[in-house]
Chains A and B, each alone.
Chain A
Amino acid sequence: MHYTFDIEKGNFTNAGNASGSVKKTLKQLNVDPSSIKRIVVALYEAEINAVAHAYGGKIDIDIDGDKIVMVVADQGPGIPNIELAMTEGYSTASQKVREMGFGAGMGLPNMKKNTDKLDIQTELGVGTTITMTVFLKN
């Protein structure tokens, strides 16, 4: 099964909507609750980053029998140093974003912890594509 969602540019209020829809769908598909929890955390963080650090983009999700693959592709500045970005506590979030409680530098570490595979492709000035795979236990 394939699902697509748009991530609106600069729209913090709606960030998280795609994760919510995916959660509902996975429940309907009877995916086990512990996998759903991990998927939701990882997808939410990727969705928020596409709004906080880039100009929106899109989410593609493929679910087959034993795995879910989530591709979050944004148009944005790209990530100059992925290793640094992956460090817990590292954040370039704006003051405005920090006041809302984002910017702890925990999003990418959360994605790493909650997925079985995390791949980051990034091009400076073009955008970032995050591919996350979670193997489902059935």
Chain B
Amino acid sequence: MLLKDIIEKLNLKVYNEVNMDSDVKSAYSSDLLSDVMGNAKSGQVWITMQTHKNVASIAALKDVPAVIIVRNGVPDDDMLEFAKDNDVAVLSSSEPTFPLCGKLYELIK
């Protein structure tokens, strides 16, 4: 499913609007950065509660098109700036990780 359709269906807040037409087939959910570094695959959307700059930097290194921050987390200014410079979409959801993952799974499984 296209990222822009996921945003609409899951009612996500958009902090950085890029990669809207990227076709999302899978996601990775983790708050441990080395876990994401080692195990996330390029093209996956990353669901996390972390909001600091290293998140955007890892997303860019891993070719992750979008980060979804859970529970209305707000990205730090330098995270957002880095994401803008490196074409990573930054989104947030009002939901905690479990229901968000469940809904996203239903959409793209």
Contacts and interface: CB of A to CB of B under 8 A. Distances in A.
Contacts of B62: 37, 40
Contacts of A23: 61
B32 to A, nearest CB: 4
A82 interface: no
Q: Which bracket fits the contact residues of B?
A: 20 to 34
Nearest to A102: B33
Task: Give the size range of A's interface with the partner.
Answer: 20 to 34
Main secondary structure of the interface of B (DSSP, over half): helix
B42 A37 contact: yes
B37 A44 contact: yes
A41 interface: yes
B76 to A, nearest CB: 9
B35 A44 contact: no
User: Which label, helix, strand, loop or mixed, suits the secondary structure of the A interface?
Assistant: helix
A29 interface: no
Nearest to A16: B57
Contacts of A15: 54, 57
Contact of B58 (A16, A105, A106): A16
A12 B37 CA distance: 16
Interface of A: 12-13, 15-17, 19-20, 23, 37, 40-41, 44-45, 48, 100-102, 104-107, 109-110, 113-114
29 contacts: A13-B52, A13-B54, A13-B78, A16-B61, A19-B61, A40-B62, A41-B38, A44-B58, A44-B61, A45-B34, A48-B54, A100-B50, A100-B52, A100-B54, A101-B32, A101-B33, A101-B48, A101-B50, A101-B54, A101-B55, A104-B33, A105-B34, A106-B32, A106-B35, A106-B38, A107-B37, A109-B38, A110-B37, A114-B38
